[in-house]
């Protein structure tokens, strides 16, 4: 019966720890029952082989005892896993490229194809590994990615409203861009600045460094909102309110940054447009760069304010569209 | 009509799917008296229902974890065996499942009789 012992041992290797010995004992007793019934108390080796074949391979037998299907990431979590995995791949590749450009074109490090490739080969699988580990834990605890209430109510289906549709491309682009900037301000804050000429002198921006934490918070919150929106598939009242709040927060940070640049430039007597022109003429790159940053922040400030108004406008229009579709429905029913 | 390989594979899968649904009812119906696994397989086989051992044992454990069966090791025979018997909760479920089964078979008989009389099953 050494074959039977080997079989039971092998099945045991794949069984869940809980009840393992009990299942092994029952399996042994069942195989012996079958053998005795068919071949008496002393079956031959080939007869044992035949019965074990019938029971099935140790892995298959053990798998049938697992309480839940053996998924690393089950069908319920898979769509979310796939989305997060793609975003992570895009962000990691983007961050690598960014780091590469900073290293080669700003810090002036020598270019190495091999190093760049090996960095990519390391970072992509390891970040995907972390995503997988996170989802494996979620799967283990049977986490549900949906916030739907039980029992499901058809009335909770999202209203068909083109105004609420997301522009996915824009969202993904914004998401990847947000992650890249977050990586930049978190890992390489000393490299936020400007170059006098390609490969020339580098000037870090002291004002941005002062507000790094606020910028990180704002970016992180926006990234989380974008991920949620991608998952949810459409805007709703709450997400628009959060977007408004985040844009408002962004405007405050931009105002601080503009004020900071103003003060920095005023201290050097260079806050006016004319002073900027003369700085260019005099090749005073530090003043030119800080002025350029201030201009960029002013533009970002204006764009964000317009964005806030457009969000409010969309909220109003979305509300009106809802009212109209409800009225149409009532008319048709009548 | 002869079936090709793909068709017979598909037929096998569909048959397994069809039978899977009735195994719980079949097992519960035979466990009003306590039985160990192999005896249950034999008693089902005698009545014409062949069930693979690899399917039955995990099913019994699942039914036990759901409270529909009770089990204990019995060491009185030639070797220890795990005996299963239906619980009171299992009995009431068995009753309901039996009623459901009768209804389904009535409906199916009617549906299939219709097809057979139209001469669709050749």
ipTM of the complex, rounded to two decimals: 0.80
Q: How many CB atoms lie within 10 A of CB B41?
A: 25
Interface check for B66 against chain A (CB to CB < 8 A): the answer is: no
Find the closest chain A residue to B65 by CA distance.
A67
pLDDT of residue A201 exceeding 80: no
Q: Which of A33, A61, A62 to mutate to test the interface with B (most CBs of B within 10 A)?
A: A33
Contact A34 B36 (CB under 8 A): no
Q: How many CB atoms lie within 10 A of CB B61?
A: 21
- Which residue, chain included where needed, has tokens 């390391």? A122
pLDDT of residue A19: 84
Interface check for B65 against chain A (CB to CB < 8 A): the answer is: yes
Distances A126 to A121, A130, A138, A140, B1 between C-alpha atoms, Å: 9, 6, 18, 21, 55
Q: Which residues contact A233 (CB under 8 A, 6 or more apart)?
A: A158, A166
Q: Which of B53, B79, B81 to mutate to test the interface with A (most CBs of A within 10 A)?
A: B53
Q: What is the mean pLDDT of residues A2-29?
A: 89
Query: Given B39, B54, B82, which is nearest A56 (Cβ)?
Result: B54
What is the per-residue pLDDT across B56-88, written as a single tens digit (0 to 9) for each?
999 999 999 999 999 999 888 778 899 999 999
Q: What is the mean pLDDT of residues A192-218?
A: 80
pLDDT band at B48 (very low <50, low <70, confident <90, very high): very high
Higher pLDDT pick, A106 / A206: A206
Contact A64 B53 (CB under 8 A): no
Helix (H), strand (E) at residue B72: strand B69-74
Interface check for B43 against chain A (CB to CB < 8 A): the answer is: no
Q: Which of A15, A28, A30 to mutate to test the interface with B (most CBs of B within 10 A)?
A: A30
Residue A67: its chain B contacts at CB < 8 A?
65
* CA–CA distance, B21 with A14 (Å, rounded to integer): 27
* CA–CA distance, A87 with A239 (Å, rounded to integer): 20
Contact A59, A14 (CB under 8 A): yes
pLDDT of residue A324: 56
Contact A38, A62 (CB under 8 A): no
Percent of chain B with pLDDT over 90: 64
Interface check for B36 against chain A (CB to CB < 8 A): the answer is: yes
CA A111 to chain centre: 30
Higher pLDDT pick, A114 / B28: B28
Helix (H), strand (E) at residue A185: helix A168-187
Q: Where does B1-122 have alpha helices with state H?
A: 5-29, 37-46, 53-65, 88-117
Sign (positive/negative) of CA torsion A226, A228, A232, A237? negative
Strand A202-204 and strand B35-36: the pairing is unpaired
């Amino acid at each position: 019966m050494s074959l039977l012992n080997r079989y039971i041992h092998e099945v045991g290797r794949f069984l869940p720890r809980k009840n393992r010995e009990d299942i092994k004992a029952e399996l042994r007793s069942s195989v012996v029952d079958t053998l005795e019934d068919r071949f008496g108390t002393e079956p031959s080796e080939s007869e044992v082989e035949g019965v074990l074949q019938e029971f099935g391979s140790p892995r298959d037998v053990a798998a049938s005892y697992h309480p839940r299907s053996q998924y690393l990431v089950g069908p319920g979590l898979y769509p979310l896993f796939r989305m997060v995995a793609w975003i992570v791949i895009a962000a990691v590749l983007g961050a690598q490229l960014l780091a590469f450009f900073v290293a080669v074109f700003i810090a002036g490090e020598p270019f190495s194809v091999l190093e760049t490739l090996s960095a990519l080969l390391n970072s992509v699988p390891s970040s995907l590994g972390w995503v997988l580990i996170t989802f494996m834990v979620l799967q283990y605890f049977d986490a549900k990615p949906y916030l739907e209430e039980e029992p499901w109510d058809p009335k909770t289906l999202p209203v068909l409203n083109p105004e609420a549709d997301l522009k996915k491309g824009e969202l993904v682009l914004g998401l990847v861009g947000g992650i890249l900037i977050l990586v930049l301000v978190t890992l390489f804050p000393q490299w936020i600045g400007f170059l006098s000429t390609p490969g020339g002198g580098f000037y870090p921006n002291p004002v941005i460094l002062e507000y790094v934490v606020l910028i990180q918070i704002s970016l992180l919150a926006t990234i989380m909102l974008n991920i949620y929106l991608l998952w949810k598939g459409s805007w709703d009242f709450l997400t628009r309110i959060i977007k408004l709040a985040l844009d408002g927060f962004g405007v405050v940070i931009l105002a601080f940054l503009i004020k900071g640049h103003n003060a920095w430039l005023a201290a050097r007597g260079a806050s006016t447009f004319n002073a900027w022109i003369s700085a260019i003429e005099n090749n005073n790159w530090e003043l030119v760069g800080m002025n350029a940053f201030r201009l960029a922040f002013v533009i970002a400030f204006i764009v964000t304010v317009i964005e806030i108004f457009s969000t409010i406008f969309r909220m109003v229009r979305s509300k009106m569209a809802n009212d109209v579709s409800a009225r149409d429905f009532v008319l048709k029913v009548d | 009509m002869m079936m090709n390989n793909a068709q017979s594979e598909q037929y096998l899968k569909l048959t397994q799917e069809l039978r899977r649904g009735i195994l719980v009812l079949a097992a519960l119906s035979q466990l009003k008296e306590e039985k160990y696994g192999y005896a249950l397989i034999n008693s089902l086989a005698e009545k014409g229902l062949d069930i693979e051992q690899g399917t039955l044992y995990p099913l019994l454990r699942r039914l036990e974890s759901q409270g529909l069966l009770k089990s204990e090791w019995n060491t009185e025979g030639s070797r220890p065996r795990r005996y299963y018997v239906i619980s009171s909760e299992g009995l009431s479920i068995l009753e309901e499942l039996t009623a459901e089964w009768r209804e389904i078979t009535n409906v199916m008989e009617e549906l299939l009789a219709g097809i057979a009389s139209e001469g669709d099953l050749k």
